[in-house]
Structure 1
Amino acid sequence: MSKTHSRPIVVFFQRRPRKFGNFSVEFIFDAVRRNLPSDLEGVYHPAKHESIGLWKRLYIMWEAAQSQGDVNHVTGDVHFLTLLLQKRKTVLTVLDVGFMKHPSKWARAFLKFFWITLPVKKAQLITTISQATKQELLKYTSFPAERVKVVYVPISDDFKPIPKPFNKEKPVILQLGVAFNKNIERLIEAIKDIPCHLEIVGKLPEPLLEKLQAYNISHQISWNLSNEEVRQKYAECDILSLISTYEGFGMPIVEANAVGRAVITANILSMPEVAGNAAHLVDPFNIESMKSGFLKIIDDDEYREQLIANGFINRRRFSINKITKEYIKIYKEILNL
């Protein structure tokens, strides 16, 4: 591809865009591509098919092989695309290795082989979106640690401070996502005796909906929201809850920091790394710890305001310009090999 261009080309190989949810991959690398310097050309190459089934995966691997640039960046989720790419030109981004928590040992073995073992053999450099994810990844591969770079997720400039008086009488708690790792069942138990309103983004399974109703917890559930509608949920909430049992990063922490909302999150994996001193940390497996955390934020005005102030500082670590510069450094390293 690069032979007809004067500038080196970075090809961003991305999964097929999804209609709803999981937009983080698309945003991260669209932002990086748009902010590349004039001496690099970014090319967006979405997969023609979703990563489902053998034949569709083989097709998108072949298609990627025909579209290589001076740097090939496989941007997460479709790791197997590296298999037909030139190794010395290839960067692989690993967003998380949560699939290694699969309950079936056979599924774990399959996923490890095709999403870790083989893909990393064909990558010159790997990036992860947190130090915690890097450490997890290195448990499953002998890939040299010095060739695994940690580059955080950038936050959209659309997230801006929106002042709002804190509602101590009945705070609005925002929960984004309802997957198993989001720990909704324990969240419900933790807040059942706290006067509050729970705002959930995601289609809640019926058993959890029944539990909300049994405890008479004020709530609203919405899904398939636009980016603008999600930002409005941040603006309307008092507390952002991300007390997950697993996260590769934890973008809602930073988004809530940017808007100016108090954050409560888990004290494990990437979440403390992302939150810094801008969130209250709790044990996601301990309901009493979670409950105490909510009460601390609600009752202690000075502490809550300090968390919010720290959040405005914390979000600076995740600016688009800063993150883009880190990727540019990686691309230049590949080009100079």
Structure 2
Amino acid sequence: MKLLYDLNSLRPPRSGIGYYTQHLIEGLLRQPDVEDIAGWVGSTVFQGASLDALMRTDAALGKAAQFSDGLTASMLRAARHVPGVYKSRTIVRNIMSASARKDFGSRGYLYHETNFVASPYKGPSVVTIHDLSHRRHPEFHPRVAVKYLDDGLPPTFRQVGRVIADSHYTKREIHDIYGLPDEKVVTIHLGVESSFRPYSQEECAPALDELGLRHRGFVLSVCTLQPRKNLRRLVEAFARLPADLRHAFPLVLIGADGWMNSALMRDIEPLANAGQIITPGYVSRATLLKLYASAAVFGYPSLYEGFGLPIAEALASGVPVLTSNVTSIPEVVGDAALVVDPYSVEEIEAGLERMLNDEPLRNDLIAKGLRRAAELTWEQTVQKTADVYRSLVG
């Protein structure tokens, strides 16, 4: 098999879809029947040694890195709301990559779009749909993003031979909303990197010292700061906890700045001034691993997930998880987390207080979480994805 990818999701700061793309390619490079893998960013093609370098470091995308923070990054985030931006970006990217796609298509490469909307391609193709939150909760997204997906997904579904869904829940959503036949949509759960694991207190100390945290002495949440992650209710629930618990277990919110979060930032401000909420923003991968493994509780009461990879990463890190009882989340966690109604501040508050005060419960959830996470491997994800490819080119 010869495989082709749009690698724009690898631009830093790398998000969940970027890591999904990276792990797929890394695993597929070890498949015996994969002859070659190539991809593009803009008009630049990555293949062989250059693709390998891209997997190991973002240095090859250095120009993009300068837009991960600062004034330019803020302007780019604001531009999400400008009509025509998504469409214009798509047109520009399609023009820049047109020659490469035509060349690889003529040489029999299978194209896998890992990020929702596929570029036009004359050859076998596959798309991964991570969730359909833009249809179920359009209020949580910039209108231009909703329009981009509404316009782009129908032609994508007509073009591709198979659709990969991250969960059975997402597969049902695709069927219910777009009417795709069951045989066209394949559920393949995501995996968890082996680097997400329990770490000793000594291994975590440098990362904790940098943020003034103590081991097992904080509540952690990791996500882009955007409405569907339900951070306002999490913050409100945390604010209702007894003062001694808030001081002993500050809430640490890790994640890049998102959209529609001005009200959230106002909610956070008084608690941050009191030292009870810490918002480091986007942190390095190495720091993130240690923060996961050091938290007393991982709080993730999201309103909608197509899979919820941060939850799986928390389970693998040996931290007890408080999360939601909706969408794909129960499918992912099984009995390995304390689940609550994410629309109820009272349930979130009660769950946090119970977990922070109940060490036997935390220990039980840690043990169950490690067992569940062990079932979610990238090796399995890669193998099942390769089987989808084989069904189209075999």
Normalising by structure 2, we get a TM-score of 0.74
Runs of 4 or more consecutive aligned structure 1 residues displaced over 6 Å after TM superposition: 167-170
Q: CA deviation at 1:157?
A: 1.4
What residue is the counterpart of 2:69 in the other structure?
Answer: none
- Distance in 1 separating the partners of 2:339 and 2:301: 8
Structure 1: gaps of 5 or more residues: 1-7
- Distance in 2 separating the partners of 1:10 and 1:327: 12
Give the number of equivalent residue pairs: 323
- Distance in 2 separating the partners of 1:310 and 1:159: 16
- Distance in 1 separating the partners of 2:181 and 2:17: 25
**Is 1:56 aligned with 2:49?**
no
**Aligned amino acid, residue 171 of structure 2:** K
- Distance in 2 separating the partners of 1:218 and 1:57: 43
**Is 1:185 aligned with 2:232?**
yes
Specify the SS of the correspondent of 2:176.
coil
**Is 1:14 aligned with 2:7?**
yes
What residue is the counterpart of 1:3 in the other structure?
Answer: none
Alignment of 1:171-250 (within 5 A): 171-177=217-223, 178-194=225-241, 195=245, 196-202=249-255, 205=261, 207-215=263-271, 216=274, 218-250=276-308
| 1:234-291: CA deviation from partner (whole Å, max 9, x where unpaired) | 1331111111112221111111111100101111111111111111101111001111
**Aligned amino acid, residue 32 of structure 1:** L
Q: CA deviation at 1:59?
A: 1.3
- Distance in 2 separating the partners of 1:105 and 1:211: 21
**Is 1:143 aligned with 2:143?**
no
- Distance in 2 separating the partners of 1:182 and 1:96: 13
Q: Which has the higher helix share?
A: 2
Structure 2: gaps of 5 or more residues: 44-63, 65-85, 203-212
What residue is the counterpart of 1:43 in the other structure?
Answer: 37
**Is 1:93 aligned with 2:128?**
yes
**Is 1:102 aligned with 2:134?**
no
What residue is the counterpart of 2:193 in the other structure?
Answer: 156
Normalising by structure 1, we get a TM-score of 0.86
CA RMSD of aligned residues (A): 2.9
Change in Cα spacing, 1:139 to 1:335, as seen in structure 2 (3 Å) is same
What residue is the counterpart of 1:119 in the other structure?
Answer: 156
| 1:47-73: CA deviation from partner (whole Å, max 9, x where unpaired) | 317966153143156243432344221
| 1:156-201: CA deviation from partner (whole Å, max 9, x where unpaired) | 1111222569x99994111112111111111111111321301111
**Is 1:74 aligned with 2:113?**
yes
**Aligned amino acid, residue 35 of structure 1:** G
8 A contact 2:229–2:302 mirrored in 1: yes
Percent identical pairs in the alignment equals 21
What residue is the counterpart of 2:25 in the other structure?
Answer: 33
- Distance in 2 separating the partners of 1:109 and 1:203: 20
Specify the SS of the correspondent of 2:321.
strand
